[in-house]
Amino acid sequence: MSFQQLLQVGKFVVTAEVGPLKGTDTHEINEVAGLLLGKIDAANATDQQSAVMRLGSTVTCQLLLQKGLEPILQMTCRDRNRLALQSDLLSAYVMGIKNVLSITGDLPKLGDHPQAKPVYDLDSVQLLEVIKKLNEGHDMVGNELKGKTDFFAGAVVNPGADTEAAFELQLIKMEKKIEAGAKFFQTQAIYDLKIMEKFMKRVESFKVPVLAGIIPLKSVGMARFMNKNVAGVFVPDELINRVAKSEDKARAGLDIAIELIGQLKGMCQGIHIMAIGWERKVPEIVERAGLLPRPVV
């Protein structure tokens, strides 16, 4: 069964990120893909994550496909105008890529090329509308395609918005994304289960699968950095103190991630693991969380 089929029949799905490297050496991507095969249901190839220039997400998806791993193409609106976005989507589909995650993208000034000019010709909602039109056999201005796409489109949402007004705005944007064609959602990192529980109750009527984001904590510094700098991410003090008091802080971070997954199982429709350099630890996380064996794809 494909990633799309697993969600449609109500299976609890597991996805993870594979970050393209900065350069042409693809050995690590191939190695990680081999380790993840059979442990997850699909892998997100990030698109210039954090506005850092890297190998492209489309070619990374093709490498994942060659290893037998179903890819999810992350596509940001930051770097391309509407011509390039549509062309890249057509190219990806011809290459066998069927899943797309629509993202607006971080500002270039946050990355390693702060002088880069942001494009943002479209936003993530408009990109979803483009994908819907391509699936229907037309480009975004109505010209007929010679061969249409059949993408399974997804989007992102942040359950941990800092204020009640920001939280309501996230719900409004989520509804707009569903109307535009989003069939599944991946969330920002979740550490506070009360936040996720509140969010899931509010979006239950939307009837769209939600995959909870999991970022394993590597250190106390990482937790505090996210609390200070990453909007909508809140690592509770009790978890920070637990990592701080542990002799093996990395192990404590993994333990916390696994416990969170166990508690999220009955709350949402899957998890999305953002290991951020710890991709080799994903199989251990999945196994210890009791998520193996995965359904046959």
Residue 249, domain extent: 3-288
Which pLDDT value is given to residue 232?
84
Residue 269 banded pLDDT, cuts 50, 70, 90: very high
- Taking residues 46-69, what's their average pLDDT? 96
pLDDT digits (tens, 9 = 90+) for 164-202: 999 999 999 999 999 999 999 999 999 999 999 999 999
Which pLDDT value is given to residue 297?
56
- Taking residues 213-240, what's their average pLDDT? 94
Look at residue 297 and tell me if it is in a domain. Answer: no
- Taking residues 20-30, what's their average pLDDT? 95
Look at residue 54 and tell me if it is in a domain. Answer: yes
Q: To the nearest whole percent, how much of the chain has pLDDT over 70?
A: 100
Look at residue 295 and tell me if it is in a domain. Answer: no
Residue 296 above 80 pLDDT? Answer: no
Of 63, 64, 51, the C-alpha closest to 22 is 51
* Strand, helix or coil for residue 269: coil
Cis status, amide bond into 20, omega within 30 of 0: no
pLDDT digits (tens, 9 = 90+) for 128-161: 999 999 999 999 999 999 999 999 999 999 999 8
Residue 9 above 70 pLDDT? Answer: yes
Dihedral sign for Cα atoms in the order 223, 232, 77, 59: positive
Residue 122 above 80 pLDDT? Answer: yes
pLDDT digits (tens, 9 = 90+) for 65-82: 999 999 999 999 999 999
Which pLDDT value is given to residue 161?
82
Residue 118 above 80 pLDDT? Answer: yes
Q: pTM of whole model > 0.85? A: yes
For the chain, the domain total comes to: 1
Quote the tokens at residue 117: 């000019």
Residue 99 to residues 121, 172, 266, 295, Cα–Cα distance (Å): 22, 24, 25, 18
Look at residue 168 and tell me if it is in a domain. Answer: yes
* Structure-token match 């391309």, residue found: 80
Give the helix/strand (H/E) hosting 121.
Answer: none
Look at residue 294 and tell me if it is in a domain. Answer: no
Instruction: Kindly report the average pLDDT of the chain as a whole number.
Output: 96
Residue 226 above 90 pLDDT? Answer: yes
Output the domain CATH number for residue 88. 3.20.20.220
pLDDT digits (tens, 9 = 90+) for 78-102: 999 999 999 999 999 999 999 999 9
